[in-house]
Amino acid sequence: MKIKSLMIPDPITITEEATINEAIEIMKTNSIRHLPVVGEGKTLVGFVTLADLRLALIPSMVAGLSLADVMIRDPITVGPNSDIEIAAQLIYKYKIGGIPVVTRGKLVGIITESDLLRAFVDMMGILNASSRIDVVVGNEKGQFKKAMQIIVESGGEIINLGMSPQRSRKRMYSFRLAPCKTSVIKKALEADGFRVVAAMD
Distances from the Cα of 101 to the Cα of 10, 105, 110, 175, angstroms? 10, 9, 5, 33
In the DSSP assignment, the letter for residue 110 is E
For the chain, what is the radius of gyration of the CA atoms?
Answer: 23
Domain boundary assignment for the chain: 3-120, 125-200
pLDDT > 70 fraction of the chain, expressed in percent and rounded = 96
> Is residue 4 predicted with pLDDT exceeding 60?
yes
Answer yes or no: CATH 3.30.70.1230 is held by domain 3-120. Answer: no
> Is residue 119 predicted with pLDDT exceeding 60?
yes
Using CA atoms, how far apart are residues 127 and 100, in angstroms rounded to an integer? 28
* CATH number belonging to the domain at 125-200, selected among 3.30.70.260, 3.50.50.60, 3.40.190.10, 3.30.1490.20: 3.30.70.260
> Is residue 62 predicted with pLDDT exceeding 60?
no
pLDDT score of 167: 67
Q: Which of 46, 187, 198, 57 is nearest to 134 (CA)?
A: 198
pLDDT tens digit sequence for 29-48: 999 999 999 999 999 999 99
Using CA atoms, how far apart are residues 155 and 134, in angstroms rounded to an integer? 16
Assess contact for 105 and 43: CB atoms under 8 A: yes
